[in-house]
Structures are given as structure tokens and as C-alpha cells.
Amino acid sequence: MTQKVQSYLAIRRAMHFTLRSSGEELLLFARHVDSLGLQEIPSVDFVLDWCTSAPNGSHRYAYIRLSALRPFLKHLAVTEPLTPVPSPKAMGRPGMRRQIHIYSDEEVVRLLAATACLTPTRGLRPLTYYTLFGLLASTGMRIGEALAAQRDDVDFVRATFTIRKDKTSSGRVLPLHQDALAALEAYVRRRDVHHKRRKSNALFLTQNKGTGLTYQWVTLAFRGLRRHLGWNALAPVPRIHDLRHTFAVRHLLDWVHRGEDVEARLPALSAYMGHKNPHSTYWYFSAVPALLSATAGRFHRYARHPAAEMAETVDAEEAA
């Protein structure tokens, strides 16, 4: 089964689908089938049992597993018609999407300031996290994109940041604000002095070994900072990825408040953030109460537009 999954993934990835997390789930399923010595998938119940078998797995995780399996099973059923394909409703509804935390300007400032407390305080580590979190806040890029970046991906002459591979596999080039560029330049100078014989050309390096910073290390550091700032009591609890959400929401709110044509500008924001289509960006309107409120206020102003009031006056005169 592992061979069939690998062949399927190769076909999909050749079509520019990255399938990172879903690909991992498919391989886990294939290894499970192979470990039982099975040549075929026996039944729908077998698939659903695996989806719910993860230790401490939530209902949402079971739904995610099923969503990853179904396209593969449908693909397999073309050549193996007896392949069981569960209904997309077999796991019920996935539940509510996680509530997001929108950082205030003050919270971003406090987060960046708190990185100075990371040990060793005079080492490279505090500046690494200061620069990393500042970059995420100012560009809205994904944490994985920042950690995958190489030293040469920052063009200090053109003031751009190249993301070689994102969720759509196409990559993109982001223009950088001068403040973000200056912060990156200061970090790179310090990084190159600290690691004269570095083992990696990754942009963000670890304190001691000079290897590329990993998501696990970043998560541990962020959790420590969050605890230090007393944010664990907030609801929802702030996450690293919420810096990206905040970037998107701030731009959308700014456009709404300025009365700009949000629909016309949305494709540009979607492309900048690496969304495959604007639908992913539209989600923020339903996810953030402030956006719903601003949109409702704009509609109310539109409803009270002079043209609408004039129409009401004409109607009243005709009625008289």
C-alpha cells in the first residue's frame, strides 16, 4: 500500500499540490495496512476505525484524516473498483474552526521586547527570535516559510524576500518595509559574526550549532514568552500563526475603514499571503467580529446614501 500511496503523491505533486500534512497521513495509513499484511483495504469500517485510532485524537483530527484519505481512495477505486470509499459525512461535521487571537500593536511590541529575556541574553538567540517574530508580524508569512528561508532569499538591494516554495508550490516574492529590511540586515550581520563557520545557509540559525532553526525550537521559545507575558490566561490563547491572521485582518479593516473597494483589492492580499484563491482570505470576514462590525457599518452607510434618501423622498411625494 505504501507504494501505491507514494505513486499517488508523486502524481498529485507533479500537478503542484504539496500535500504535506495529508501526505503524511496517507503514508501512516499505508504503513498500517502493510503492517497487517493486507493487499487490499477490506472495508469502510476499516478506514473509519483507523481515522479514529490516533492516541488522544480529537473528532476534528479524525475528520482531517478522512479528508486526506478520500481523494486517494477515489483515485485507487479507478483501477481497483472494490476499494471502499467512505462518505464525506461519515465523520459528521468537523466542528467549529479554532478562534483566532488578533494581536494589538501593544501586544506585538511586548512580544518583541520579551525576546530580550531569552538566554543567553547576550547571545544570538534573543535577536534571532526578535527578528523572526517581527518578520512574521510585518509580512504575514507562514512560520514554515520563514524557517525554510535561506540567507540569499533576502535581497537587501531590491528590498525583497523570496519564498521559494509555499503551499501552492509556486513561491512568491514579497516587498519588504524599510524597517523590516533594516532589522533583517542587523540580524544577518550579527549572525555571520556569531557563526563564522556555520553548518547551514538557513536565514535563521540556532545559538550553539549554527544549524537551521526548527519549528519545535520556535514553539518552545514562544510558549516560554507567552507564559512570561501572562498570556496563557487569555481566550483564545495567542499562537504564532495568529501573527499571520493579524496581518490579514489589519489590512482588511484598514480598507473597510477607508471605504476602499475590498473585493477589488482582495486578490492582491491573497497573492501576497500565498493563498491559492481569495476564498481563503474571505474566511477572515466571518472569523473576526471586528470585520463583521465594520462591514455592517459600511453597509448601513451605503443604505443611507443620498441617492437612497432621495428615492425615499420621491416615494413620499408620490404617495402624497
pLDDT digits (tens, 9 = 90+) for 122-176: 999 999 999 999 999 999 999 989 999 999 999 999 999 999 876 555 688 999 9
Write down the pLDDT at residue 244: 93
Q: Which residues pair with 179 in a beta bridge?
A: none
Please report how many Cα atoms fall inside a 13 Å half-sphere around the Cα of residue 318, on the Cβ side: 6
Q: Which residues pair with 177 in a beta bridge?
A: none
Q: Is 275 exposed, middle or buried (0-12, 13-18, 19+ CB in 10 A)?
A: buried
Write down the pLDDT at residue 169: 56
Condensed to tens digits (0 to 9), the pLDDT of residues 20-60 reads 888 899 999 999 999 999 999 989 999 999 998 887 677 88
Write down the pLDDT at residue 137: 96
Domain range summary for the chain, segments of one domain joined by + = 2-79, 105-233, 242-303
Cβ(69)–Cβ(29) below 8 Å? yes
CATH architecture for residues 105-233: Orthogonal Bundle (1.10)
Cis omega (within 30 of 0) for bond into 278: no
